[in-house]
C-alpha cells in the first residue's frame, strides 16, 4: 500500500542516481486524448543488461532502433498507437544467441486509454508489467508524478520510500518491487529538489540520490523509475508520459 504525502511547495526536474546528469522536458508534445479508435502505449526497458530489444504488436515491430536498458520508446514522451481490443505483444532480443527469453503476452487495449509496458528483472529471466497510465490534464498550473520500483535482486528486499530534501518529507512510501504508484500533483516552478530513494523507514541510507533541476512542465505527467541492480549500480530515470 502506498502512502503519498504531498508537499505544499516544490517542483521536480531531471537528474540522476549514482552518476550525475540532466535532461530537459521543455518541448511541448501534440497529443490527442480519448482517441475513439486506438490506445496509446509507452515501453520502458528496466531489464538489467537488456540490449537489442524490440516490442511487437500482433507480430509487427513497433520500434525501428534496438532498445537497451533504461530506454523509453517512443522517446518523445507520448506513446505509439495500438488498435483497441485484445492485442498480442512480444518483447525480444533480436540476437540469435541471446540468453534473454522472449516475453509474450496478451493485453486488452481499451478505447482511448494509455498504457505503459515495463520490462524488468535480468536478461536471463526478463518479465513485463503493463499498467494503465491515466492521463488527466490539470485545470491549474500543476503537473503530475508517479513512481515505479523495478530494482533487481534475486532475493526479497525491502520496499522503498522517496524522500524530498526541499519538502523534508516522503513523497512516496512503502513502494515494493514491481509496484507503480498512482500519479500525484506537483507544482510547476523553476526550483530545484533532491530526491533520495531509501529503504522504507530508513532515514539515513540513500540508495539513490536523484537531483531535480529546473522545473517540470505544467499540466504534464511524469514517471520516475528506480531500476538497475540492488547489489550493483542503482539508477533512477524520469520520463514524460504526456
pLDDT at 175: 98
**Comparing C-alpha atoms, which of 121, 119, 192, 160 is closest to residue 2?**
160
pLDDT at 166: 81
Q: What is the dihedral of CA 41, 46, 52, 57, to 10 degrees?
A: -20
pLDDT at 110: 96
Compute the average pLDDT of residues 197-208: 97
Name the residue with cell 494509455. 114
Instruction: Please say if the pLDDT value at position 20 is more than 80.
Output: no
Ramachandran bin of 241, using left for φ above 0, alpha for ψ from -120 to 50, beta for the remaining angles: alpha
pLDDT at 154: 95
Q: How confident is the model at residue 36 (pLDDT cuts 50, 70, 90)?
A: low
Q: What is the pLDDT of residues 146-202, one digit of tens each?
A: 999 999 999 999 999 999 888 788 999 999 999 999 999 887 765 788 899 999 999
Enumerate the domain spans of the chain: 1-33+137-242, 34-134
Report yes or no: 189 and 11 within 8 Å, Cβ to Cβ. Answer: yes
Q: What is the pTM of this model?
A: 0.84
Instruction: Please say if the pLDDT value at position 62 is more than 80.
Output: yes
Q: What is the pLDDT of residues 81-120, one digit of tens each?
A: 999 999 999 999 999 999 999 999 999 999 999 999 999 9
pLDDT at 113: 96
Residue 197, judged by CB atoms within 10 A of its CB (0-12, 13-18, 19+), counts as buried
- Average model confidence (pLDDT) across the chain: 86
- What is the CATH number that goes with domain 34-134? 2.60.40
Amino acid at each position: 500500500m502506498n502512502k503519498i504525502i504531498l508537499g505544499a511547495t516544490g517542483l521536480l526536474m531531471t537528474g540522476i542516481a549514482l552518476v550525475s546528469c540532466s535532461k530537459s522536458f521543455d518541448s511541448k508534445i501534440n497529443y490527442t486524448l480519448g482517441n475513439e479508435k486506438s490506445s496509446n502505449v509507452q515501453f520502458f526497458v528496466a531489464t538489467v543488461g537488456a540490449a537489442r530489444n524490440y516490442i511487437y504488436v500482433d507480430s509487427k515491430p513497433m520500434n525501428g532502433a534496438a532498445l537497451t536498458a533504461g530506454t523509453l520508446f517512443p522517446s518523445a514522451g507520448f506513446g505509439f498507437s495500438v488498435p483497441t481490443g485484445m492485442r498480442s505483444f512480444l518483447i525480444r532480443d533480436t540476437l540469435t544467441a541471446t540468453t534473454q527469453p522472449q516475453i509474450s503476452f496478451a493485453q486488452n487495449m481499451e478505447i482511448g486509454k494509455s498504457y505503459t509496458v515495463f520490462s524488468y528483472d535480468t536478461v536471463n529471466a526478463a518479465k513485463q508489467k503493463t499498467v494503465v497510465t491515466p492521463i488527466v490534464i490539470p485545470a491549474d498550473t500543476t503537473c503530475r508524478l508517479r513512481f515505479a520500483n523495478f530494482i533487481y535482486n534475486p532475493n526479497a528486499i525491502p520496499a522503498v520510500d522517496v524522500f524530498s530534501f526541499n519538502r523534508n518529507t516522503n513523497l512516496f512510501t512503502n513502494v515494493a518491487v514491481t509496484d507503480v504508484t498512482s500519479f500525484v500533483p506537483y507544482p510547476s516552478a523553476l526550483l530545484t529538489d533532491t530526491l533520495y530513494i531509501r529503504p522504507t523507514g530508513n532515514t539515513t541510507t540513500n540508495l539513490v540520490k536523484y537531483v531535480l533541476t529546473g522545473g517540470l512542465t505544467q499540466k504534464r505527467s511524469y514517471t520516475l523509475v528506480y531500476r538497475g541492480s540492488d547489489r550493483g549500480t542503482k539508477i533512477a530515470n524520469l520520463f514524460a508520459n504526456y
